[in-house]
Amino acid sequence: MAKLSIRDLSPAGKRVLMRVDFNVPQDKDGNITDDTRIRAAIPSIEHLTKAGAKVILMSHLGRPKGEKNPEFSLLPVAKRLGELMGTDVHFVEDCVGAVADETVSNLGDGEILLLENVRFYKGETDNDPEFAAQLGKHGDIFVNDAFGTAHRAHASTEGVTHHIDQCAMGFLIEKELKFLVEELESPKSPFVVIMGGAKVSDKIKILERLMEKADAFIIGGAMANTFRLAQGYDIGKSFAERTDEAMELARGILKTAEDKNIGFHVAADTRYTREFAANAPTEVTAPWAEGGSVPADAEGIDIGDKAIEEFADIISKAGTVIWNGPMGVFEKEGFDIGTRAVGKAMADNSSALTIVGGGDSVTAANQFGFGDKMDHMSTGGGASLELLEGKDLPGIAAIDNV
């Protein structure tokens, strides 16, 4: 169902309360180490300020557990936003109460105010109606542009919408819905789904849903270990879901793929090590189909050379590619070969629609310099997964329909 967009608003002279996702990483000294999420919100903020709105921003940062904690203050974020936008960004050391109310009331047209961390109050994550009403007092219009928290029914994402008459989505959420929903309704074929990460059980609903449309699946990361174990192969000390339930789940997926005639490509070989450290010596198994195995004293940490070759070939012929989950422990140098190769293959296929579905995959794509070559890099981890599963996200469901 179509949602009211920031494009549809007439915000001149009005107070626009906007939920953004400024949950950015910081070093031990409080310096922001990655401002991607701040930059992602700027188009919506600029659109509103140029229209003459009074923009009141709210966000969370970290997990202060409902208590005021200077470690999680948004003051450094306000400073960084001001630097990026080349304008003053006001800041108030609370998000509700008399001081916050007065600061909001003194805001001029076209000005920006960032409220302090909403998670300094337990009412935020509890979606407490009273706390949501206090937040709602700050706005004549509500705009949600925090896709990364849209799967949470919190006071600042869902509760506040019950206290403001007009609720719209920002450009960021609009873009996420375009690529993760609209573009995947009828994807250009061949439609290839790349899945990695740790657990099959975490992504079973996505696998089942995308099997209705996908032409091929590529499986790497620790997920591949679980499938190989379910097939009876020796995976040594490799991480895998080793329960009977997980084995049954994996075998069921393989059977469904076979019945539907879907190409289900589990990594053909595995790169393994006996020392879990950057640049540790590694070896590659023989192809699993030819009797390959991981030694009992070793663990798989990446896909092997044959898998890389096969995966790159499949990706090069794709019309649509969606990637969720790394191929191995890409954070450690020497264990990142497969993840880097998959990202490069996607970046090299200029004719395909390429979507990176949030979380570690986005981190990897950026780390290896492929991010700007993808059509869409999702800003949501859990939100992306739930949207791909076909779930209704509370923060999006609460936005007005049109």
pLDDT of residue 125: 97
- Residue 260 and residue 113 share a domain: no
Residue 124, φ and ψ in degrees, nearest 5: -65, -60
Place of tokens 């044959």: 306
Do 236 and 259 contact (CB within 8 A), yes or no? no
pLDDT of residue 99: 97
Average pLDDT over residues 233-244: 95
Residue 281, φ and ψ in degrees, nearest 5: -60, 140
pLDDT of residue 1: 62
Q: Identify the domain boundary among 115, 147, 174.
A: 174
Q: Which residues pair with 142 in a beta bridge?
A: 17, 167
Looking at the chain, the whole-number percentage of residues with pLDDT higher than 90 is: 89
Nearest by Cα to 176 from 150, 208, 205:
150
Domain membership flag for residue 400: no
Domain membership flag for residue 355: yes
Nearest by Cα to 235 from 297, 150, 172, 322:
297
Angle between helices 36-50 and 75-85 (to 10 degrees): 60
- Residue 215 and residue 97 share a domain: no
Domain membership flag for residue 82: yes
Q: Identify the domain boundary among 139, 174, 209.
A: 174
Structural domain containing residue 14: 6-174
- Residue 265 and residue 143 share a domain: no
Find the distance separating the first CA and the last CA of the chain, reported in whole Å: 8
Residue 115, φ and ψ in degrees, nearest 5: -80, 155
pLDDT grade, residue 335 (50/70/90)? very high
pLDDT of residue 3: 96
Overall domain count for the chain: 2
Task: Identify the CATH number of the domain in which residue 128 sits.
Answer: 3.40.50.1260
User: CA 252 to CA 178: how far, in whole Å?
Assistant: 31
Angle between helices 221-230 and 244-259 (to 10 degrees): 90
Domain membership flag for residue 246: yes
Q: Are strands 282-284 and 270-273 parallel, antiparallel or unpaired?
A: antiparallel
Distances (CA, A) of 181 to 62, 357, 395: 28, 12, 16
pLDDT at 28 over 90: no
Write out the H or E segment, with its range, that includes residue 217: strand 216-219
- Residue 282 and residue 196 share a domain: yes
Q: Which residues pair with 401 in a beta bridge?
A: 3
Domain membership flag for residue 396: no
- Residue 141 and residue 120 share a domain: yes
Query: To the nearest 5 percent, what fractions of the chain are helix, strand and coil?
Result: 40, 15, 45
pLDDT at 379 over 90: no
User: CA 52 to CA 108: how far, in whole Å?
Assistant: 9
Least confident piece of the model among 29-43, 101-115, 301-315 = 29-43
Whether the upstream peptide bond of residue 11 has omega within 30° of 0, thus cis, is no
Domain membership flag for residue 259: yes
- Residue 212 and residue 76 share a domain: no
Q: Which residues are catalytic?
A: 37, 199, 359, 382
pLDDT of residue 74: 97
- Residue 190 and residue 167 share a domain: no
pLDDT grade, residue 30 (50/70/90)? confident
User: CA 321 to CA 374: how far, in whole Å?
Assistant: 10
Under DSSP, the state recorded for 382 is: H
pLDDT of residue 389: 87
Domain membership flag for residue 402: no
**pLDDT tens readout for residues 64-102:** 999 999 999 999 999 999 999 999 999 999 999 999 999
- Residue 167 and residue 27 share a domain: yes
Average pLDDT over residues 357-377: 91
User: CA 26 to CA 17: how far, in whole Å?
Assistant: 25
- Residue 211 and residue 65 share a domain: no
Domain membership flag for residue 205: yes
Write out the H or E segment, with its range, that includes residue 39: helix 36-50
Do 75 and 131 contact (CB within 8 A), yes or no? no
- Residue 253 and residue 110 share a domain: no
- Residue 246 and residue 206 share a domain: yes
Average pLDDT, the chain: 95
- Residue 142 and residue 75 share a domain: yes
198's tokens: 């740790």
